[in-house]
Amino acid sequence: MRLNDALKWGLLVWMAVVIWAAFQWAPSAVGFQGESARIVFFHVPTAWVATLAFLVSCVASILYLWRRDPMNDVRAASSAALGLLFALLATVTGSIFARIMWGSYWNWDPRETSITFLLLIYAAYFALRAAVADPERRATLAAVYAILAFVTVPFLVFVVPRIWWSLHPDTIINKQGTIKMDSRMFQVLMGSLIGFTGLFVWLYTIECRIERIRQRRQQELL
Amino acid sequence: MSNWLAELTAVFVKDLRAEFRTKVSLNAVGLFALTTLAAVSYTIGPYRIAEADRPFLLGALLWIVIFFASMAGLDRSFVKEEETHTAALLRLAAHPLVVWAGKLLFNLVLLIVLMAILVPLYCVLMGYRVESPWWFLAVLATGGYTLAVTTTMVAAIIARAMSRGALFSVLSLPLLLPLLIFVIQGTTAASQGEVDGVLSTLRAVISLGGIMTVLSVFLFPVVWND
Amino acid sequence: MNDLMGITLVTLIIWVGLFAYVYRVDRKVRRLED
């Protein structure tokens, strides 16, 4: 418990420092409208967490199908719920940036398309869960769908944007494979990435614990 | 060895015969496609789209019609088993993968029939000029296969859920969107005679189809035996 | 520079608020578990 608490307070401090650094320490990015580039410190990590959450969901799904431990279904659903939240945040922050930078909220730029499809996959996953009454069948079908959906994500996220010309700034993942970002900005971005990942892990564990309590209560009632 | 082939044929022929008797899927898919084609042809027709945009837009529209027509009928072979309560018997009678292969074959045939009628009609009505017809066919074939294998898997998933029809579309479309993007690209390239574009599309579509096939082989028995 | 400081402070406040909320939930869950 001590270590857990320390980690949580550590996260508070870490993210506070990241926020400060994002607006005060990192330099203004050249070529972007005003200070709008600073949104990248929040936009990129949320998109990253949305994909990470989906990966966790998929792994939990595979484990569920393998061992049939109901806890893994809980893990898959919890991670998916958080993934959906972060995907929404990524879409919104990206849209705000697009408005500032290019004047319109939405352009169906390949990356914008990819995040929309990630949202659609999450929505489909929960639609499926809602449509199946029996808990074990629900867990199985949801797990299968999560795996199928996860396979399409690499195509959406990596292949499609490469093929099409993109409005998306090419500062990190680009054809040359180099990092075209100021070093301070990069450090803040990495720090933010770690912080958001930590936040996700914390929220995820809470979600799982709540669900376990709920299931334990249901068992006790029976 | 030859036993599973016989079983596969049996499943496939059974579905085919049932389909010819009632023609439910054929009607749904066919009517949807033709109605949409009529609507598109009437409102847009061969003349409304600027010459420069034609290869891309006409390709996109074609695939959108194909996709939505598929949504109208490609889940039928599984849903029918549940509705007529023959699913349990089928589970006892045949190996899951045989069932999968038989139903995949059925969906493929359905799709081939759809494309055989729709595509020529579309090209004529919309004035779609295709520079490389063979590459065009290749995109249609590989795209069609990947479409069939994906929808077969989704159909198996939704067969025992509520609100099946809507759920089929909701679950299929996210999985099919990368495919959609690729085949539209490939069709555009084929209509302009750009072999490089077609080849890169074929690579992507074939890898998608291959992955979906492998996944289906592992996951279909799980869903079927549940 | 002033605007930037304003945004910084607002974001920090939002973050601390969010953290406090999640921490409270965490504590409640912990109590339910024991």
Average pLDDT, chain B: 89
pLDDT for position A166: 46
Are B32 and B67 a contacting pair, CB within 8 Å?
Answer: no
Q: What is the pLDDT of residues B149-168, one digit of tens each?
A: 999 999 999 988 877 778 99
Q: How many CB pairs under 8 A join A and B?
A: 78
ipTM for this prediction:
0.88
What are the structural domain ranges in chain A?
38-184+196-221
Q: How far is B21 from chain A (nearest CA, A)?
A: 31
**What CA–CA distance (Å, rounded) separates B176 from B171?**
9
User: How high is the pLDDT of residue B171?
Assistant: 95
CB nearest to A152's CB, from B154, B170, B178 = B178
SS3 B156: helix
DSSP string, B157-217: HHTTSSSHHHHHHHHHHHHHHHHHHHHHHHHHHHHHT-HHHHHHHHHHHHHHHHHHHHHHH
Rounded mean pLDDT, B106-134:
91
- Kindly tell me if the per-residue pLDDT of B54 is higher than 90: no
Give exposure, B176-199, as e/b (b: 16+ Cβ within 10 Å). bbbbbbbbbbbbbbbbbebeebbe
- Partner C, chain A 32-71, Cβ-Cβ below 8 Å: 35
What is the rounded average pLDDT of the residues B53-79? 88
Compare CB distances from A145 to B157, B160, B204 and report the shortest one's residue.
Answer: B157
CB spacing of C19 vs A11 below 8 angstroms: yes
Mutation for testing the B interface, residue in A58, A144, A160 having most B CBs under 10 Å: A144
B203 to chain A: closest CA residue: A159
pLDDT of residue A168: 54
Q: Which two tokens stand for residue A29?
A: 């990015």
Structural domain spans, chain B: 2-224
pLDDT tens string, chain A, 222 residues long: the values are 688 889 999 999 999 999 988 888 888 776 666 677 788 889 989 999 998 999 999 999 999 999 999 999 999 999 999 999 999 999 998 888 888 777 788 877 767 777 888 899 999 999 999 999 888 999 999 999 999 999 888 877 666 655 554 445 544 344 444 455 678 888 899 999 999 999 999 999 999 999 888 888 888 887
**B3/A120: higher pLDDT:** A120
Rounded to a whole number, what is the distance in Å from the CA of A213 to chain C's nearest CA? 7
Q: Are B126 and B41 contacting, i.e. CB atoms less than 8 angstroms apart?
A: yes
Identify the closest residue of chain B to A124 by CA–CA distance.
Answer: B171
